[in-house]
Structure 1
Amino acid sequence: MQWKFNRKSKNDQSNSPKKSALREWGDAILFALIVSTLVRGLLFSAYAIPSGSMEGTLLTGDYLFVSKISYGPRMPFTPVSIPFLEPTITSHQIKTYWDGIKLPYFRLPGLSEVKKGDIVVFNKPEEADPSYNKPVDERTALIKRCQATPGDKLTIVNAQVYINGKAAPNAEKAQTSYKVVTDGADINPQLLHNLHVEVLQQFNEQTYIMIIPQDGLAAFKSYSNIKQVSPVVEPAGMYDANVFPHNAKFKWNEDNYGPLVLPKRGMTIVLNEANLILYRRAIELYENNKVQLKGTEVFINGKKANTYTFKMNYYWMMGDNRHNSLDSRFWGYVPEDHIVGKAMITCMSLDSTESLLNKVRWNRILKPIH
C-alpha cells in the first residue's frame, strides 16, 4: 500500500508573501504598545513626585512604581485615550482623551483593601466639581498617606490625628512648621540645605516660619544663633474657610479638626442640617444624585428623603509634610472610585537643586516605600 501526504512544495512556500522590514517593525511596536498598556493598566504604573507634600517620606523628584493590583485594577472610565500622555498637553490644554464614551465604575479584585498608613495614589476629588469637567480617571493624580478608612471617626487635636479615639502613629519622617527666633544673625543657607529646612515666611530679621524635618530638629536647635524653636499650631475653635466643609458652623482648621465619620458603603445617615453640610458633596458629586433643600426638607432626585445610604467607601488622605500639603483637610474624603493604587518602591530620584554630577539620589533607588 502506498501512502500519500498532502504537503506544500518548496515552490508553494516561496510564493507566500513575506513581511517587509517596515511591517515587522510595525508589528513589534504594536505588540509592545499593547503589552505595556495592559501592564500599565492592570499591574503597575510609574508616577513622579512633583511637590513637597510628602517630604521627607517621599522627596520632590522621586519616581515611583505604583501597584494597581494591590487594591484591584480600576477599569477606565474613558477608554478612548492616547496612552502614556497626561490628560491635557501644551499650553492650550489639548485633551489626549475622548469623553464621548464614559463607562461606569468597575474594579477587578485586588490583593487587599486600602489600609491606614498606606501611601496611596488617587485622583484629586476637588476636580469632581462641574467647573473642571473632567472624567474621574483624567483628574490630577495625587499621592498621600491614608489616615482613616470607611466608618472611622477622625479627629485632629493640636496637629495629632486620632482615629476612633486613639492617636494615630505619625510617619517616621513627618514634617511640620516651627516658629524660629534667632539672635538677628544671618542663617547659613548651606545649613538649611543640609538639614532640608524650608523657610516659609520671614517676619523680620529675627523671626521666621520654617518647615523642619524631625531628624534634623535637634541639630538645628544646637546652633548658637537659634534662640527659640516652637511648633506652629492653629488653636482650636479658630475657623479656617479653606478647610472642608467650608462652613462656619464647623469651626475647624488644619490642626484642630472634626470629629468626622468617614462614609462607608451601606452606612445610613439621617439627613439633618449638619449631616447635609458634611456629606452633601459625597451624595451629590461622587454618587451622582440631585440634592435639593426646600426649607428644612431634603429632596434627593425629586423625592423627599429623611435618610441616605452610601453606595461607596471613602478614605481620608493627608500628606506627611502637614503644613505644606493640600489634602483631605481642604477638599474632604476620597471616594473609592478615585483610588488608583499603592506606592511600592522608588525606582529613581533626582534632586533639581544639585549640580549635574550630584543630581541622582543613589540611596533612594529601588527603596521600598513605607
Structure 2
Amino acid sequence: MNFSFPNVKQAAEEVRKKSKVREWIEAALFAVVAATLIRTFIFEAFVIPSASMEKTLLINDFIFVSKISYGPRIPITPLAWPFTHHTMPFTKSTRPFSTAIQWPYRRLPGFSDIRRNDVVVFNYPCGDTVLKSITGEDEDYYTNMRSPGPEYVHKNFPPPLTRPVDKRENWIKRCIAIPGDTIQIMDGVVYINHAPTTPPEHFEAKYYVTMPDGKELTDSMKDVLGTDHIQRTTGDSTMFIYNLTPANVDTLKAMGGKIKRYVFDAFADSRVFPFDTKHYEWNEDCFGPLYIPQKGATVKLDTLTLPFYSRIISTYEHNTLRVVDNKIYINGRQTDTYTFKMNYYWMMGDNRRESMDSRFWGYVPEDHVVGKAWIIWMSIHNNRIRWGRLFSAIR
C-alpha cells in the first residue's frame, strides 16, 4: 500500500505568503475605517481659501474643526468614497457619492449648543443647486438666476447639478445670531435684540483715512498694519479707503489720522436677502430687523413676510408651497401661519465688506452645521510658515 503526504513545508510557506498580503490589506482597511470615523465623528481638517474671515483667519490657515462640540452629524449620504466631498479629486464634476440611500438628519449629543460669536463650519445653504462654468468651476445658481436671469443661465451653462445637504460646499463664518434672536444692522453696526454688539477682536471693516501729510499710506506702513495694498481713492485727493481692524484704527489715530467708518447709505440692494427691494430697502450696512427662526416657534404668513420664510418652508423643511391670488398654500392647505421644524442661525464674516454671508443668502439650518472651528495647526504665506499662528485657538 502506498501513502502520499503533502509537502507540509511548502504549504506552510504558501500560508505565510497569503497571511502577509492579508495583513497589509487588513491594515489598510483598518486605517481607512479609523480615519473615516475620526473625520466623521471627532474632527476634520480644512484650509481657509478666502479673506472673508480676516483677520481672525487668514488665507492658507489650516484648521481643525471639532465635530463633537455641537454633536457629530450622522451622514445623510452614507454611500460615498472615503476622504471625498462633492467632487472626485482631479476631476471637475464627477460625483464620489450616490443618493440611492438618503438618511434623515440626526445628530449625536455634543458638549454645547451653538453660541453667539462661535466660528462655525457649515454646508452652504444655497449649494443644493450648482452651475458649472466652462472651466468646471462652481457658480452660484440662485445668484445667476436672479441676475443676469434664467435666459442667460440656460444659454451659457449646462444643466445644473444638485447636491444633498452633507455634500454641499463647506463654508466658515461667525455665528452672529441664534434661534429666537432679532438682528438689525444700522450704519454697519450689528444689533442683537436691540442692543449693539461688540465686534470680534480681529474684525475688519473699511474706513475713510486722511493722514496729516494728505498722502496715501506707504507700502511699508500697510505691511505693518497688515492691510491689503489695494488703492481705493475717493473724490478727495487726500482721503483714501482702507480695510482696517480696530487696532489699526487706534494706530492711525495715534499718528494724527482722521478716521471715519465707510458704510453704505440706505438704499435697496437687490443682492441682499430677502431679495425684495420693493418692500425692503436693505443693504449690507442697513438691514433688518429680522427674526431668526426657532424650532417650534410659529410665525404669521402673508405676502410681505413670505419672502423671509419661503425657502425654509419649501427647501429646508421639504413642504410644497404655492401662492394663488395672494393666498398661501402649504402641502395643499391654505394657511396664514407656519411652525418651524428646525433651528436656524445667522452667519457673517469678520471681514464685513469682503464677505458673502447670511446678508446675501439668509439663514443657516441646523442640519447644515458641520462643526466648530477649533485650532489653527498650520499657516503658510508666500511659501513660508507663519510660526506665530501655529496651534492657536480660534476665537
| Residue segments in structure 2 that go unaligned for 5+ positions in a row | 1-7, 131-140, 142-160
- Letter paired with 1:100: A
Matched, 1:165 2:194: yes
- Letter paired with 1:133: T
Correspondences of 1:138-287 after superposition (within 5 Å):
138-181=167-210, 185=215, 187-203=217-233, 206-221=238-253, 228-235=258-265, 237-248=266-277, 249-287=279-317
Q: Which residue of 1 aligns with 2:111?
A: 111
From the superposition, tell whether residues 220 and 294 of structure 1 become closer, same or farther in structure 2 (CA, over 3 Å). same
Correspondences of 1:331-350 after superposition (within 5 Å):
331-350=361-380
Q: How many residues align?
A: 352
Task: Find the aligned partners of 2:196 and 2:262 in 1 and give their Cα distance.
Answer: 19
8 Å Cα contact 2:216-2:240 kept in structure 1: no
User: 1:14 Cα deviation (Å)?
Assistant: 5.8
Between stretches 215-224 and 255-264, larger displacement belongs to 215-224
Q: Secondary structure at the match of 2:24?
A: helix
Task: Find the aligned partners of 1:94 and 1:207 in 2 and give their Cα distance.
Answer: 50
8 Å Cα contact 1:262-1:315 kept in structure 2: yes
| Residue segments in structure 1 that go unaligned for 5+ positions in a row | 1-9
Matched, 1:102 2:102: yes
8 Å Cα contact 2:207-2:262 kept in structure 1: yes
Q: Which residue of 2 aligns with 1:294?
A: 324
8 Å Cα contact 1:199-1:211 kept in structure 2: no
User: 1:268 Cα deviation (Å)?
Assistant: 0.8
Task: Find the aligned partners of 2:393 and 2:19 in 1 and give their Cα distance.
Answer: 45
Q: Which residue of 2 aligns with 1:303?
A: 333
Task: Give deviations 1:90-147, integer Å, cap 9, x for gaps.
Answer: 4532222222322221111111111111111001112135755111111111111111
User: 1:150 Cα deviation (Å)?
Assistant: 0.6
Q: Which residue of 1 aligns with 2:163?
A: 134
8 Å Cα contact 1:122-1:141 kept in structure 2: yes
Q: What TM-score do you get using the length of structure 1 for normalisation?
A: 0.88
From the superposition, tell whether residues 200 and 188 of structure 1 become closer, same or farther in structure 2 (CA, over 3 Å). closer
User: 1:241 Cα deviation (Å)?
Assistant: 1.1
8 Å Cα contact 1:62-1:346 kept in structure 2: yes
Q: Secondary structure at the match of 1:125?
A: coil
Between stretches 321-330 and 14-23, larger displacement belongs to 14-23
Task: Find the aligned partners of 1:140 and 1:259 in 2 and give their Cα distance.
Answer: 28
Task: Give deviations 1:306-362, integer Å, cap 9, x for gaps.
Answer: 21111000000111111111111110010000000011111111113xxx4xx1111
- Letter paired with 1:242: R
Q: Secondary structure at the match of 1:127?
A: coil
Q: Secondary structure at the match of 1:233?
A: coil
User: 1:184 Cα deviation (Å)?
Assistant: 6.6
User: 1:83 Cα deviation (Å)?
Assistant: 1.9
User: 1:223 Cα deviation (Å)?
Assistant: 5.8
Q: Secondary structure at the match of 2:185?
A: strand
Q: Which residue of 1 aligns with 2:55?
A: 56
Q: Secondary structure at the match of 1:344?
A: strand
From the superposition, tell whether residues 40 and 91 of structure 1 become closer, same or farther in structure 2 (CA, over 3 Å). closer
User: 1:201 Cα deviation (Å)?
Assistant: 5.0
Between stretches 17-26 and 245-254, larger displacement belongs to 17-26
Q: Which residue of 2 aligns with 1:4?
A: none
8 Å Cα contact 1:196-1:213 kept in structure 2: no
Q: Which residue of 2 aligns with 1:7?
A: none
From the superposition, tell whether residues 333 and 361 of structure 1 become closer, same or farther in structure 2 (CA, over 3 Å). same
From the superposition, tell whether residues 117 and 187 of structure 1 become closer, same or farther in structure 2 (CA, over 3 Å). closer
Q: 2:391 aligns with which of 325, 342, 366?
A: 366
From the superposition, tell whether residues 368 and 167 of structure 1 become closer, same or farther in structure 2 (CA, over 3 Å). same
Between stretches 143-152 and 18-27, larger displacement belongs to 18-27
Task: Find the aligned partners of 1:222 and 1:64 in 2 and give their Cα distance.
Answer: 35
Matched, 1:73 2:105: no
Task: Give deviations 1:157-201, integer Å, cap 9, x for gaps.
Answer: 111111111122210111101123466756422321231112455
